[in-house]
Structure 1
Amino acid sequence: MNAIIPSVEELSRPAKALIDSGRVTAFGDAADILTANVPTVIAGAEASSYGYQAALLTAVETTARVFAQAPVYLAPVVADGPCLLPGLSHLTLAEAVVQAGAHHMRADDASVGSRPVIVIGTAATTGIVSLQVTWDHWVASVGTTGGRLPERGNMVLAPVAAAALAVAECFKRVLGVDEACYRQRGLNLWQPDQTSPNSIQAGLEEEALGPVLQFLPKSAWMVGLGHLGQGYAWCWRLLPYLDPSQCELLLQDFDKVNVANRSTGMFVKPEHLGLMKSRVVASALEGAGFKTRIVERRLLPETLRHPNEPELALLGVDKLEPRRLISNIGWAFAVDVGLGAGPVDFTGISIHTFPSRTSSHDLAAWQGHGSTNRAAHAQQQDAYRNAEAAGADGCGLVQLAETAVAAPFVGVVAACLALSEPLRILHGQKQHITLSYDAGRTALPRGSRAAEVPRIGFVETSREVRTQEGPWRSG
């Protein structure tokens, strides 16, 4: 009797990291290990405010997709209060976390044992491993000793990035990284290549924290709406637009949702199986008040931007061909992100922006492809060897080996860095021509700056959105 293995369309992309790294001896064992190590997310009374809710829902969505479950405990004072996030305002906070895939726990069943706890706001925990999500303006941090930053400002991508980094630590712990969940993590979205995690915890000068957001892009063209593209859309939906209908988003993708997309796509739900990814993302953004347009075809050599179409582009593609077209489309500013694909480097993030001194067609970093070596290495792991010995289909095993490892928390961190580029430009900073970062390591991002600042159309936020009042604080 032949062994049954999952298809490429079914296999969880985070679980594949355990399989391809040799952490399990059978494909089905990965899910059991993830279930046994799922972190608990705890939110304190501050979760009545916008930034805390953005961090909370990011942590819940990414945890539920990686670990196939997400135990969450909410302070009773906020559980039945309103969810403030765009597109979710018709729900209570408890309803929103359940819709995101969480199991909402009560105080008497909130036992965590030896599993990590992700804390948002003020909360007493009995967990052995505790990760505090905290931030200050553009600065994201994950603490392990209970310390917190002031948690102020309207740059919502900072709490979002902090929550995603906390989930990254929990997953790296499952992969056997001994220091994971015991080290400080930090990322300064204003000065990513100049600020170390240790200096973040020690405290930064005001100018290093970044400004209050005053300007937001008036439109964007998102190419590729899978793992990374949905990270873009997730983060964009949370930006503090006074009137989201002033912003138009052109959404381009040619693919349909499959079962595996549930493990990486921030908006994918079971009922979306077989739908076009563009429709799923458009529905979420339109529900938050944004205007959308859909293009359901590949980016082609003959594609040219019309003057009435968005001049800002965010690319989330995994093929070389569309990337080499970027300089020829006619965008005023384009941000392209590449992610690692193996069991170790899947947390790697590489950003290129255009215009650049080098055409997108000529970048040497995009000329190679390591999928063949990655697949050959994967097939040497026990899960593949044991499945082959048990009679599993050889072609199916090769297809599984060639499939990339991916995790939604990586897509969210990458999206925070990518969206920060146009936001930084709108607030007077120069673009990064290149920026490299590893969401699974503590090393400082590395980048290179441009000499000139491109122009991007924008809308202004209102005075109340710029502060911690209004949409940022309830009551």
Structure 2
Amino acid sequence: MTAFTTADKLHRLVKHALDSGAAASIAEAEALFAGYRLALRISEDAARDRHHQAALLTAVALARRVFLGGVMVAPLPDAPLLTPLPFGTTLAEAVTVLGGSIAEPEAGTPVIEIGGTTSVRRAPFHVRAIFAGWRGGIVPAPFEAAPVPAPVMALAPMLAAALAVNEAFLYVSGHVGVAGRRTVGLSLWNPASTCDWLGDMGTEPIMSLLPAQLWLIGLGHLGQAFLWALGLLPFARPQDLNLVLQDIDIITPSTESTSILSDATLINIKKTRAMAAWAERRGFSTVVQERLFDASFRRQDGEPAVALCGLDNGVGRQALDQVGFDFVVEAGLGRGHRDFRAVRLHTMPASRPASQIWRDAQADDQVEDRPAYQGLLASGALDRCGVTLLAGKAVGAPFVGATAATLALSEVLRLLHGGTVHELIDLDLKAVEYRCTVPTLQNFSTLNPGYVMTDERHE
């Protein structure tokens, strides 16, 4: 068994309280998060719709990693599980498996309503997670606003849920004063800031094509969010999706705090093995690669030509356009307590080589002088090396990776449907409306990455 350090065990969002100075010790930070609770609501009709179920289960899976005081779902109508996610046979079973409890919340607990219509506030924070077509987002419960109806693309509910959990955390943490009193959303077909996600998107296609093979590089925070997103897609024959899963790490106690498919039962297991097992329960076909990804690596003929990259190191990223992939979507997240909500996506080939894009290493915030770290050093709980190691770990939140995953996989889906591919998407979940998108100048019209048809029954 591996002997885990404090850095391996610390919850990655609890670390935010240490780095920002909001808590003077690990115990104080953990107590702060233990006080965070969230209530989820879903109507009878919504509970019997696969897309609303997907939004609810995504919200449960993300929120229980953030609101450590508990995630309550009530009322929860009796309904069979209609999403393709492998979490049981009923909606209630899936909620429980994912860490939610079926119980009435205390008065004043922040509320996320899955779908629903305009209603009075049940709590000071009460938003609705809504979606249509390729669009997803949130509106305050009393607002008479909804996206123009269209056949739902399967990632839109995941996007809405991730943005809702982000907004709820902004509210309880006090980081944004208007949290819960604004509309927040975007379109996965046209993620530009000029696109009105609530408006009529006549150019949105009905999703009919899905990737037949993908290479996932990195199976932590982002890689597991990629898998969750793939799990929501309506494959007629799930076994037709061939995945190569690449990573070299094991699951540690802290992995669960950011990674949507990890839990305490998987500690010490290779990420490749654990994620392959989950993907195969979903019905996908898998191959694992347990070797470092760098410039010495080469994709072979017949292997997936499209990659989704969730690496967090520059050396691997610099090799992304050198190893034989025809199309790569790379997602990067902020690491510090100020920028952990930042998402930056790149696609390759691009106007600059990867070696230039990631030429300079990003400097981490220097937080060793914060009271929590000085206290660990003074008490002898950690030596100077241990403090440095702990301080250097990234702050992370699962709702950030989930949002990034919907954007990243949508680049592949737009490629398949003849939509715009973006060389760069840059956004921060504190202010999604100020996002930046840069369409690629590359011509991918002749690229056939391999595809299969959707299940005709998915709408």
Q: TM-score, normalised by structure 2?
A: 0.92
Mapped partners of 2:193, 2:415: distance in 1: 17
Alignment of 1:158-197 (within 5 A): 158-177=156-175, 178-195=177-194
Alignment of 1:435-474 (within 5 A): 435-451=425-441, 452-454=443-445, 455=447, 456-465=449-458, 468=459
Please tell me the residue identity of whatever aligns with 1:36: G
Please tell me the residue identity of whatever aligns with 1:16: K
Q: How far is 1:26 from its partner?
A: 1.6
Q: How far is 1:30 from its partner?
A: 1.8
Aligned to 2:25: 26
8 Å CA contact 2:224–2:259 kept in 1: the answer is yes
Q: How far is 1:179 from its partner?
A: 2.0
Aligned to 2:370: 381
Aligned to 2:302: 308
Alignment of 1:106-121 (within 5 A): 110-121=104-115
Aligned to 2:81: 83
Aligned to 1:283: 277
Q: How far is 1:87 from its partner?
A: 4.1
Mapped partners of 2:53, 2:24: distance in 1: 39
Mapped partners of 2:216, 2:127: distance in 1: 33
Query: How many residue pairs are counted as aligned between the two chains?
Result: 446
TM superposition outliers: structure 1 runs of 4+ over 4 Å? none
8 Å CA contact 2:249–2:270 kept in 1: the answer is yes
Please tell me the residue identity of whatever aligns with 1:431: V
Alignment of 1:76-475 (within 5 A): 76=76, 78=77, 80-88=78-86, 90-105=88-103, 110-122=104-116, 126-144=122-140, 145-146=142-143, 147-149=145-147, 152-177=150-175, 178-195=177-194, 199-201=196-198, 203-207=199-203, 210-363=204-357, 365-371=358-364, 374=365, 376=366, 378-393=367-382, 394-451=384-441, 452-454=443-445, 455=447, 456-465=449-458, 468=459
Q: How far is 1:458 from its partner?
A: 1.0
Mapped partners of 2:308, 2:405: distance in 1: 9
The alpha-carbon distance between structure 1 residues 366 and 419, as it changes in their structure 2 partners (threshold 3 A), is farther
Mapped partners of 1:462, 1:61: distance in 2: 25
Q: How far is 1:300 from its partner?
A: 3.2
Please tell me the residue identity of whatever aligns with 1:200: W
Please tell me the residue identity of whatever aligns with 2:134: W
C-alpha offsets along residues 307-353 of structure 1, whole Å, 9 cap, x if unaligned?
21001100010111111111111111101111100011001011111
C-alpha offsets along residues 77-118 of structure 1, whole Å, 9 cap, x if unaligned?
x3x32112224364211111110011111xxxx234333101
C-alpha offsets along residues 244-290 of structure 1, whole Å, 9 cap, x if unaligned?
11110100011001100010111112110100011111111111111
Q: How far is 1:366 from its partner?
A: 4.3
Mapped partners of 1:111, 1:277: distance in 2: 35
Structure number with greater CO (CA < 8 Å, separation at least 6) is 1
Aligned to 2:71: 71
Mapped partners of 1:30, 1:6: distance in 2: 18
Please tell me the residue identity of whatever aligns with 1:19: L
8 Å CA contact 1:193–1:444 kept in 2: the answer is no
Please tell me the residue identity of whatever aligns with 2:245: L
The alpha-carbon distance between structure 1 residues 87 and 192, as it changes in their structure 2 partners (threshold 3 A), is closer
Mapped partners of 1:74, 1:48: distance in 2: 15
8 Å CA contact 2:52–2:114 kept in 1: the answer is yes
| Aligned partner of residue 136 in structure 2, secondary structure | strand
| Aligned partner of residue 327 in structure 1, secondary structure | coil
Q: How far is 1:386 from its partner?
A: 3.1
Q: How far is 1:6 from its partner?
A: 7.2
| Aligned partner of residue 67 in structure 1, secondary structure | coil
8 Å CA contact 1:31–1:67 kept in 2: the answer is no
Aligned to 1:471: none
The alpha-carbon distance between structure 1 residues 100 and 150, as it changes in their structure 2 partners (threshold 3 A), is farther
The alpha-carbon distance between structure 1 residues 155 and 413, as it changes in their structure 2 partners (threshold 3 A), is same
8 Å CA contact 2:330–2:347 kept in 1: the answer is yes
> Identity of counterpart residues, as a percentage?
32
Q: How far is 1:152 from its partner?
A: 4.5
Mapped partners of 1:27, 1:36: distance in 2: 14
CA RMSD across the alignment? 1.9
Aligned to 1:58: 58
Gaps of 5+ in 2: none
8 Å CA contact 1:47–1:121 kept in 2: the answer is no
Which structure features the higher share of helix residues? 1
Mapped partners of 1:319, 1:21: distance in 2: 24
Please tell me the residue identity of whatever aligns with 1:131: V
The alpha-carbon distance between structure 1 residues 252 and 6, as it changes in their structure 2 partners (threshold 3 A), is closer
Q: How far is 1:444 from its partner?
A: 3.2
Q: How far is 1:151 from its partner?
A: 5.9
Aligned to 1:472: none
Mapped partners of 1:42, 1:115: distance in 2: 12
Mapped partners of 1:69, 1:304: distance in 2: 46
C-alpha offsets along residues 349-370 of structure 1, whole Å, 9 cap, x if unaligned?
111111112211122x542221
The alpha-carbon distance between structure 1 residues 357 and 84, as it changes in their structure 2 partners (threshold 3 A), is same
Mapped partners of 1:33, 1:64: distance in 2: 15
Gaps of 5+ in 1: 469-475
